[in-house]
Amino acid sequence: MEDYKQAALNLFPNKWVEVSDNFKIDNNAGKRAVAEEVFKAVFDKLKTEHVADSVAKAFLRRASKWGTDNNGINAANMSTALMASIIAIRDDE
């Protein structure tokens, strides 16, 4: 299963409801279909060279200022650097 489909399924799992004898519908199918489209767009953006370059540059800027000897600081630097991906998705760069 593709990553975007799995993410949508995690967000909107199968929710079968019996509407009549031996007939069930998945109440989350419509929401999941929309979520799949959204996740696919986001995941495609995350795979771009622009996002990878932005995140790497942001991390390296922080690492040069604070160093890389402390894993706690590395985690904080990476967390902050990942904001570059959010900005790229938000601004559709």
Instruction: Give 93's pLDDT tier (boundaries 50, 70, 90).
Output: low
Q: Under 8 Å CB-to-CB from 12, ≥6 apart: which residues?
A: 28, 31, 32, 35
Q: pLDDT of 35-45, one tens digit each?
A: 999 999 999 99
Token pair of 72 as six digits: 């706690």
Q: What pTM value is reported for the model?
A: 0.77
Transcribe the chain into DSSP letters: --HHHHHHHHHS---EEEEETTEEEETTHHHHHHHHHHHHHHHHHHTSHHHHHHHHHHHHHHHHHH-SS-HHHHHHHHHHHTHHHHHHHHHT-
